[in-house]
Amino acid sequence: MRTERTQVAIVGAGPAGLLLSHLLHRRGIGSVVLEIRSREYVERRVRAGVLEQGTVDTLMEAGVGERMAREGLPHHGIELRYGGRGHRIAFERLVPGRRITVYGQQEVVKDLIAARLADGGRIDFEVSDVAVHDIDTDAPSVTYVDASGERVRLECDVIAGCDGFHGVTRPSIPEGVLTVYERDYPFAWLGVLARVRPSAEELIYARTERGFALHSMRSSEVSRFYLQVEPDEGLEAWPDERIWAELKTRLETVPGFTLETGPIMEKGITPMRSFVVEPMQYGRLYLAGDAAHIVPPTGAKGLNLAVADVRVLTEALVAWFRTGSAELLEGYSRACLKRVWRAQHFSWWMTTLLHTFDSDDAYGRRLQLSYLDYVTSSEAAATTLAENYVGLPFEKGPHD
């Protein structure tokens, strides 16, 4: 077994792990990123595409936002569509100076990988048999098999678990340490990526009696759509013709709107889940992003929460390596969870506001419509939606 050493071992080359490695490098702290998938797979994996204002600012400040600034699609509002009418939530009026940017997660990942490699950073792709050891000591390590088949022991000071919901780092924490909060929803999302120009300039969230639909986009030539479906549905039940017919039924509900159709490039079904573990740390292991929490995608918070976690963890690690003070590291979970739970509530609220639940629950449907009427007619309610959607400002840290 080959033995190596780094300051921070990062498990997972998604946005959380790559951004953490990049931010640490800019502050003079070394890291190695381990990823079980290939670089090609990671860079092509389609995920979220709505970036909060704070996420955009973070990427720009980190020097990895040039292509995003050039190719991303800034949005100053969203539309809530229900009852045969569209209602715009105007960010530029409700939360002046703050907006969202549509830029695919895979594009963020490409930018971060390019930046790390250009700086001489190390990302080991296609590793296997990853395991973390001695996380409750001051000498943790990660063992794995590299792409060539050689076994490696990576000694480090800290391990960052950025390996997602199904990763190996969270299960390595002893049983009984973590408290799990979770909720499963009685539906899933069918996601579609299509080579067709967007039919609207901003995102459309549509609530219908047949279920929820979302019109989004990835570029001026590629659109992203979602349909609420049964949780046990398979893709074989959704040929392209049925997908377009259902999208038209749920989205073409206002006068003058026509949904453009085109070739479908990718489709997949995603379960809807809310999940949080507390604390997000144990010993020298710190969880970030989907390894610690999952939100239903209705509120577009998953990637943005990962960035928020990494900002907190970076400052804590910098303080510890430079001064020996563990105060920020000890408060890592507490600092992150405040924002996590705000995003959990917003995502749950958006989900329950727009999706069809029990078809026999006439009372529940009337409550939904009543609250939609309130949100689209009350300046205060619309502002609450807007400020949560574009992302609450980051709290000032000790180094800001």
| Residue 400 pLDDT > 70 | no
**Residue 240 resides in a domain:** no
| Residue 399 pLDDT > 60 | no
pLDDT, position 397? 56
**Residue 166 resides in a domain:** yes
**Residue 388 resides in a domain:** no
pLDDT in tens, 24-56: 999 999 999 999 999 999 998 877 789 999 999
pLDDT-derived band at 398 (thresholds 50, 70, 90) equals very low
**Residue 129 resides in a domain:** yes
What is the mean pLDDT of the segment spanning 351-355?
96
**Predicted model pTM:** 0.95
- Reference 155, options 171, 170, 135; nearest CA is 135
| Residue 360 pLDDT > 90 | no
Lowest mean pLDDT among 13-17, 31-35, 67-71, 360-364: 360-364
pLDDT in tens, 107-125: 999 999 999 999 999 999 9
pLDDT in tens, 211-233: 999 999 988 899 999 999 999 99
Q: Which residue has the higher pLDDT, 211 or 396?
A: 211
Known catalytic residues are 75, 205, 297, 301, 389
pLDDT in tens, 126-160: 999 999 999 999 999 999 999 999 999 999 999 99
Question: Which residue range forms the structural domain that includes residue 170?
Answer: 2-75+98-181+273-366
| Residue 389 pLDDT > 90 | yes
Domain containing 104 — which CATH number? 3.50.50.60
**Virtual torsion, Cα 174, 175, 181, 183, nearest 10 deg:** 120
Query: Structurally, how many domains does the chain consist of?
Result: 1
Read off the amino acid at residue 285: L
**Residue 118 resides in a domain:** yes
